Structures are given as structure tokens and as C-alpha cells.
């Protein structure tokens, strides 16, 4: 909601820049999508390694 209000303020102050931002935002989102996918995969691998390392402690505690 805050980003929409900021965009409306930009539209009021400088409408060509606001329209350019409206066009470029989906393109930037598409360009950054592979990095997000890699980040999700790396996070999953690190969580799996953490679970494997912590497994003996969880077995002894339980």
C-alpha cells in the first residue's frame, strides 16, 4: 500500500517518471526472478544441512 501511495505522489509530481516506473517495474521483476529462485534453492540446501547437523542433538534430547 505504501508503494502505491509513493507512486501516486510521483505521478502527481512528475508523471512521465511515474509512467516509466510503471513500465519498468515488471521488467525488473522478471530480470530478478532467477536470483529469487536460486535464493530459495540455496536456503533449502542450507536448512537441510542444518537439519542433518542438528539431528544427533534432537535424537538425544527426544
In this predicted structure, the answer to whether residue 35 has a pLDDT above a threshold of 90 is yes
- How far is the C-alpha of 50 from the C-alpha of 53, rounded, in Å? 5
Residue range 52-62: mean pLDDT, rounded = 89
Q: Give the chain's end-to-end CA distance (angstroms, integer).
A: 45
Q: What is the pTM for the complete model shown? A: 0.59
Kindly tell me if the per-residue pLDDT of 62 is higher than 80. Answer: no
Instruction: Extract the C-alpha cell encoding 25.
Output: 517495474
Percent of the chain with pLDDT strictly greater than 70: 98
Q: Are 18 and 5 in contact (CB under 8 A)?
A: no
Kindly list the domain boundaries of the chain, sorted by start residue: 2-61
The three cell numbers of residue 62 are 527426544
Q: Which string of b and e fits 1-30 if b means at least 16 CB within 10 Å?
A: eeeeeeeeebeeeeeeebeeeeeeeeeeee
Is 50's pLDDT higher than 80? Answer: yes
Amino acid at each position: 500500500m505504501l508503494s502505491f501511495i509513493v507512486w501516486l505522489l510521483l505521478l502527481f509530481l512528475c508523471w512521465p517518471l511515474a509512467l516509466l516506473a510503471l513500465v519498468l517495474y515488471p521488467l525488473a521483476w522478471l530480470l530478478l526472478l532467477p536470483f529469487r529462485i536460486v535464493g530459495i534453492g540455496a536456503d533449502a540446501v542450507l536448512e537441510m544441512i542444518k537439519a542433518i547437523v542438528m539431528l544427533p542433538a534432537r535424537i538425544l534430547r527426544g
